[in-house]
Every structure is written in C-alpha cells, then in structure tokens.
Amino acid sequence: MFLPNSEMKSSFEIDGNTLNGKIKIDDDGKFIIDLQTQNSNPTQSEEFKKGLFYSEINYNPMFYPN
C-alpha cells in the first residue's frame, strides 16, 4: 500500500535486464523511484539504463529528401 512516508524494496525490469531499487512516497505524496545500481549486476545495470533512456530520431522525408 502506498502511504505517505513509506518505502519498499522493488526490482525493475527492462528488456530482461533487472535492477534493484526502492519505491518511496514522501510526506507530500510524491512517488520516487530510487534505482540502486550498487546493489545490482553491473552488466544488467548498464543495459537497463540504455533501455530506460531509449531515444529514436525519425526524419520526415518531406523535409529531408534523398
């Protein structure tokens, strides 16, 4: 249950890469995700971060013709 000033351990997964962390709710009800890379597999941590901050650039052919 999410109550103010509460904290719980959790695992987060992106593309099969798991990262340990905590979910915190502060006294104002703000939802905070604390990713704890020091408590996770270093290889999976790096791959997790790549998936978390994924970006893609699409070009409109109308403005960028061959």
Record the pTM: 0.62
Indicate the domain borders of the chain. Answer: 6-54
Paired tokens of 36: 């704890």
* Residue type, position 62, single letter: M
Per residue in 1-45, pLDDT (tens digit) is 688 999 999 999 988 889 999 999 999 889 998 988 888 888 888
Distance CA 55, CA 26 (A): 30
Distance CA 64, CA 15 (A): 32
